[in-house]
Chain A
Amino acid sequence: ETGVTQTPRHLVMGMTNKKSLKCEQHLGHNAMYWYKQSAKKPLELMFVYSLEERVENNSVPSRFSPECPNSSHLFLHLHTLQPEDSALYLCASSQREGLNNEQFFGPGTRLTVL
């Protein structure tokens, strides 16, 4: 596997379910990110992990819980979601040092909350 992978690619869940999204990067990067992409809205940064520590949390509801066990893996645990949480969730990784370091994105998980 190369680049950034995400599983599952599609997820349908009820409001009472608990599920997790997984992201894995094979690029040797030391920063990882979760973004939410809703229709007709800019990409929203949810969480940033740098050197496995959370450095940014953009006022995300507590029903989203991130976990970064090591520099290669990032999880987003979901529980008691709302229909408005339906969106494409994108994971990205990069080197933290350097203004010009681009973020590499995974293919995303298309989440539908019923």
Chain B
Amino acid sequence: AQKITQTQPGMFVQEKEAVTLDCTYDTSDPSYGLFWYKQPSSGEMIFLIYQGSYDQQNATEGRYSLNFQKARKSANLVISASQLGDSAMYFCAMREGRSFGNEKLTFGTGTRLTIIP
């Protein structure tokens, strides 16, 4: 079974609008962490935001926020006021507590976001 599911292979969004990228996950481990990465065409994976399974509040980092719904096992990324430079692939990833010591990250298939001027 897929541990990380990103159902949107591609999205087109008008500049300055907000965008939500979907991510659902599957784990039986009560302790886990969720990550979002951005991959521009240059190839480098850039860390955006982190949410821990025990965190009481949704994570925020500048224009990025994470809509964490634990009961639904979803961790959607919200980008406010999108910019042309936000055009990239976006990956959701999970680290489970049982992997402590080797930090294994499981990635989804990604969403290609294109911002339209």
Contacts and interface: CB of A to CB of B under 8 A. Distances in A.
Contacts of B4: 42
B47 interface: yes
A99 B102 contact: no
Give 5 nearest A-B pairs by CB, closest first: A105-B45, A43-B107, A108-B43, A102-B47, A55-B102
Interface residues of B, number: 29
Contacts of A88: 43
Contacts of B35: 102
Interface residues of A, number: 27
Nearest to B2: A42
Contacts of B107: 42-43
A33 B106 CA distance: 13
A48 interface: yes
B50 A48 contact: no
B91 A103 contact: no
A59 interface: no
